[in-house]
Amino acid sequence: MIRLKVNGVEHSFDGDPMMPLLWYLRDELALTGTKFGCGVSLCGACVVHLNGKAIRSCVTPMRQLENAEVTTIEGLSVKGPHPVQRAWMQFKVPQCGYCQSGQIMSAVALLSSNRSPSDEQIDEAMSGNICRCGTYQRIRAAIKAAAKESA
């Protein structure tokens, strides 16, 4: 039995310990904001936070999650939109929107460790998140705005 918290709620898992966290979130907990993209940790659509750090849920097996705290896009903020989410809306970042939960979760992780990132630091931190629509300039602008709001 694997015990973990997801968005602050305690859960237990008694299934295949090799099941990726992504499928547990989507199929077992019905938290579908985290997306399946590539399944091999290349695109970033599946980014969630594990104990406060951004990880790829498509390649994280449940066996690694004993006593872990997982945060998904649904649990990012209980008091209305997170500053990054507000900036995403302000700068109209999404086009198709498929990658956006992973993008937002990566941006939040970046700002948690660096409250005033440079363009180069933003580009480096976000380089593992692919946006097929190419909204990278708006993503960078939204991260800078969120950093100012959070400062």
Euclidean distance between CA atoms 93 and 107, whole angstroms: 13
Euclidean distance between CA atoms 120 and 36, whole angstroms: 27
CATH number at residue 64: 3.10.20.30
| Residue-number span of the structural domain to which 135 is assigned | 83-150
Domain boundary among 29, 56, 75: 75
C-beta atoms surrounding 23 within 10 Å: 15
Structurally, the chain folds into a number of domains equal to 2
Are residues 105 and 129 both part of a single domain? yes
- pLDDT one digit per residue (tens) for the chain, 151 residues: 999 999 999 999 999 999 999 999 999 999 999 999 999 999 999 999 999 999 999 999 999 999 999 999 999 998 889 999 999 999 999 999 999 999 999 999 999 999 999 999 999 999 999 999 999 999 999 999 999 987 6
Euclidean distance between CA atoms 18 and 144, whole angstroms: 38
In sequence order, the β-bridge partners of residue 50 are 53, 70
**What was the pLDDT predicted at 78?**
86
Percent of the chain with pLDDT over 90: 95
CATH number at residue 107: 1.10.150.120
Are residues 34 and 14 both part of a single domain? yes
Q: List the one residue out of 75, 65, 54 whose CA is nearest residue 24.
A: 65
Euclidean distance between CA atoms 14 and 65, whole angstroms: 12
| pLDDT tens digits, 83-103 | 999 999 999 999 999 999 999
pTM of the model: 0.95
Domain boundary among 40, 75, 110: 75
CB 61 within 8 Å of CB 21: yes
Domain boundary among 55, 75, 95: 75
Are residues 70 and 19 both part of a single domain? yes
